[in-house]
Structure 1
Amino acid sequence: MQILSKYEVPKAKESTFGCQLMDERDDGLVYEWDGIESDEFVSDLKALTSEYFGTIAKEKSLSNITEATKATLARWALVMTLMISFFGTLPLYIHGNWIFIVLTPVLAWLTIANYWHDATHFALSSDWKVNAFMPYLLPLLSSPSVWYHQHTIGHHAYTNIGHKDPDLAHAPQLMREHKSIRWRSTHSNQAHFLRILLVWSIASGIGLNILSDMRSVVKLTYNNAVPCMQRSRSNLAAHLFGRLFYISVAYVWPFFVFPLWKALIWSFVPNAIFSMCFMLNSQINHMVGPCIDASSKNFYKHQIVTAQNFGNDSRLCYYFSGGLNYQIEHHLFPTINHCHLPALAPGVKRICQKHGVPYNVVSGYKEALVAHLAHTVEMAVRP
């Protein structure tokens, strides 16, 4: 509490720009923390993780159990292999080799999925400096500082809670994925294939990296859900420089080396492929029927009922998602590296069955995507 108090947001409802920092609405959900330490469900989860990581810490003679929760040597080897592979393709990609217009962005996604997300959850290493540095090595998904606000603070604390989870309101003019978003006539055809293809193509590059980022800087709030820190002048200058650098390497450079027709292709297609990889592996985890309206006043149960696993028996799903296919376990234990989640999942499922907590899991990408699209169709109908 002493640490948290240093970062507490002032209670003033207005920022210096006159913008509301946080929506007062919470859809009626307030977590109940009293007595949670003695809750049998929570105690079983603690026992599961303590036994698993205690064994690892003892076998590897680690100084504390926290070290056991981070990336293993095998995980680091995977990360380094993917990173070397991605950077190795850049010379041919920059020279305009057509094969790499697909291969390079896919490798970029695989690299980021298997290390970047973990680092921003402090789950890559027990050394905070490693976790802080690594996301800035390849900030293609988002600015790390903005991602901390949007994802680590906002989404994980208030998963699928209207007016609190920023992921429910990324582009309310284009897509309505939750009942807290006011229905607009533009939502009536949101489930059209070309509409979804376009939105998914620009979601990461244009949406997260530019539009949402700049709004958070100006309004000091992310999607009107998460208050953002007031940046110092030097921090703001560094942040804006980083965004300009991203725009340059993602969109601008092809126009200096290729003919206009090829520059347009090289500027759009790789970013669209990367963005669609991200959207495929993020929308199917929470934006589905069983999860979207689920809730619990028990924080841990809430993390379970609002998440969906997919393809837990598939190596393709595991590596292509970077372990995001174990979304339930990730939301329960966000600071634990994804490489440990397959081993924890059977125990979590067993505990859920014991206590009557719904454990949402589907067979793979196809079933998960069909469920998400069905939800998108449902949300397109005027209430």
Structure 2
Amino acid sequence: MTNPRFPKIKVSFHNELKNRIGEYFQQKGKSMTGNSQLFFKAAILLLTFIALYIHLVFFTPAAIWAILESIAMGLTIAALGFNVMHDGAHGSFSKYKWVNQAASNVANFLGASQHMWRTKHNVIHHTYTNIHGVDDDIEARPLLRLCDEQDHYKIHKYQHYYFWAAYSLLYIWWVFVTDYKKYFSLKIGEMPIKRLTFSEHFFFWFYKACHAVIFVVLPIIFVGPIAWLIGFLVMGLTAGFVLSIVFQLAHTVEHTHFPMPDEAGKMEDEWAIHQLKTTANFATNNRLVSWFVGGLNFQVEHHLFPKISHIHYPAISKIIKKACQDYGIQYIEYPKVRYAVASHVAFLKQMSRK
């Protein structure tokens, strides 16, 4: 299929934003990438994951503690994805390329192919946000219907009741199904991807094997298949739900749009305006939420400036808000998590109807 095209505007809103943000960093004398606070947080998360893994696999705690630690490991996997892998994949974790590659590579050891994810997320989702048939992140059929253009199935009538269960499947489905589907079909949704080089083929299977050893083989050897299965499901379902809900609160709520190209494949708005219409922030004054989700509650800032580390989002959000006010452009934001969740559920209910 032909990729949608955004109109080229000589004096664009995106250029205005880039000028204002560039002036801010020049005045402050700051790097756009991460700093010591981000590196310290990454170290805490990595050490937490290693400690939980060692205790669960090699010391076999009592059942109740094992369940609680498996939940904690699922939360830690999600936090590593938000804070380390995500910034690394966008090249914003560090000013050094090799550090960004190492941070991005965390995803491979956790079971998610970084090669496939970068294409799906960095290239497709960030360019064609919320465009049906292109953005694979809004494709959750047959379980969920997330925009008007998608087919309506009878099960969707109840999706605002069971969505939490569907979201919980994300991590396990991602690691064991969708990565392989993309690999063998050379497609992400309906979008074709480039053929893999020899090294890309090699590392795809190498990291899948590493994940299998770390998360399947060793735990089964040390704790047995039943204990492993229970612990892995608890961990995977926890990680899946948290990863899913953070994305959904950013793009599939009542006030976000799902624009489609015209018959010629042209979008109505320039790219930056499109991002503002399809993206929402939530709980930006909640420091705990911001710390845990790696600033992805500042999703507007992330979509407009993905190469800027999330540690700068609170500061640049003020600049972007002011620019939106100056130009009369809507800036979508929910002040609390529960308001965003309520809006998402209301959106699912709306999509549950034909």
Displacement of 1:143: 1.2
Deviation by residue 1:272-305 (Cα, 9 ceiling, x = unmatched): 1111111121111001121133585211111111
Aligned mate of 2:220, from 233, 255, 263 = 255
Say whether the 8 Å CA contact 1:254–1:267 is kept in structure 2. Answer: no
Deviation by residue 1:302-331 (Cα, 9 ceiling, x = unmatched): 111111000111112201211001000100
- 1:186 and 2:186 aligned: no
Deviation by residue 1:99-139 (Cα, 9 ceiling, x = unmatched): 41222222222233112111111111222222122222343
AA aligned opposite 1:143? S
Aligned mate of 2:79, from 89, 106, 110 = 110
- 1:120 and 2:89 aligned: yes
Structure 2: tracts of 5 or more residues without a match: 261-267
Match of 1:144 in 2: 114
Displacement of 1:229: 2.0
Percent identity, please.
24
Displacement of 1:260: 4.5
Deviation by residue 1:243-275 (Cα, 9 ceiling, x = unmatched): 233244334543333344423211210111111
Match of 1:310 in 2: 282
Say whether the 8 Å CA contact 1:200–1:279 is kept in structure 2. Answer: yes
Structure 1 residues 244 and 181, CA, compared in 2 at 3 Å: closer, same or farther?
A: farther
Deviation by residue 1:71-95 (Cα, 9 ceiling, x = unmatched): 0122222222222222222211213
CA distance in 1, matches of 2:197, 2:351: 40
Pairing 1:8-19 to 2, within 5 Å after superposition: none
CA distance in 1, matches of 2:211, 2:111: 10
Structure 1 residues 253 and 72, CA, compared in 2 at 3 Å: closer, same or farther?
A: same
- 1:74 and 2:37 aligned: yes
Pairing 1:1-383 to 2, within 5 Å after superposition: 23-24=1-2, 26=4, 30-35=5-10, 38-39=11-12, 41-57=13-29, 68-94=31-57, 95-97=59-61, 98=66, 99-139=68-108, 140=110, 142-169=112-139, 171-192=140-161, 195-206=162-173, 208-225=174-191, 227-293=192-258, 296-382=268-354
RMSD: 2.0
Say whether the 8 Å CA contact 2:84–2:106 is kept in structure 1. Answer: no
- Larger RCO: 1 or 2 (CA < 8 Å, sep 6+): 2
SS at match of 1:211: helix
Displacement of 1:234: 4.2
CA distance in 2, matches of 1:145, 1:319: 26
AA aligned opposite 1:236? H
TM-score by length of 2: 0.89
Structure 1 residues 73 and 55, CA, compared in 2 at 3 Å: closer, same or farther?
A: farther
CA distance in 1, matches of 2:111, 2:229: 21
The alignment covers a number of residue pairs equal to 340
AA aligned opposite 1:228? I
Displacement of 1:352: 0.3
Displacement of 1:34: 3.8
CA distance in 1, matches of 2:115, 2:42: 22
Displacement of 1:141: 6.7
CA distance in 1, matches of 2:249, 2:321: 19
Say whether the 8 Å CA contact 2:88–2:101 is kept in structure 1. Answer: yes
Q: Answer with 126-135 or 366-375: which moved more.
A: 126-135
Structure 1 residues 330 and 25, CA, compared in 2 at 3 Å: closer, same or farther?
A: closer
CA distance in 2, matches of 1:311, 1:321: 11
Match of 2:264 in 1: none
Say whether the 8 Å CA contact 2:132–2:138 is kept in structure 1. Answer: yes
Structure 1 residues 381 and 252, CA, compared in 2 at 3 Å: closer, same or farther?
A: farther
Q: Answer with 149-158 or 130-139: which moved more.
A: 130-139
Q: Answer with 93-102 or 214-223: which moved more.
A: 93-102
CA distance in 1, matches of 2:170, 2:211: 15
Deviation by residue 1:185-229 (Cα, 9 ceiling, x = unmatched): 23222222xx323211211222x222221111111110113x222
Say whether the 8 Å CA contact 2:107–2:113 is kept in structure 1. Answer: no
Deviation by residue 1:137-164 (Cα, 9 ceiling, x = unmatched): 3432721101111100000000011111
Say whether the 8 Å CA contact 1:254–1:266 is kept in structure 2. Answer: no
Structure 1 residues 96 and 280, CA, compared in 2 at 3 Å: closer, same or farther?
A: farther
Displacement of 1:372: 0.9
Displacement of 1:341: 0.7
AA aligned opposite 1:159? T
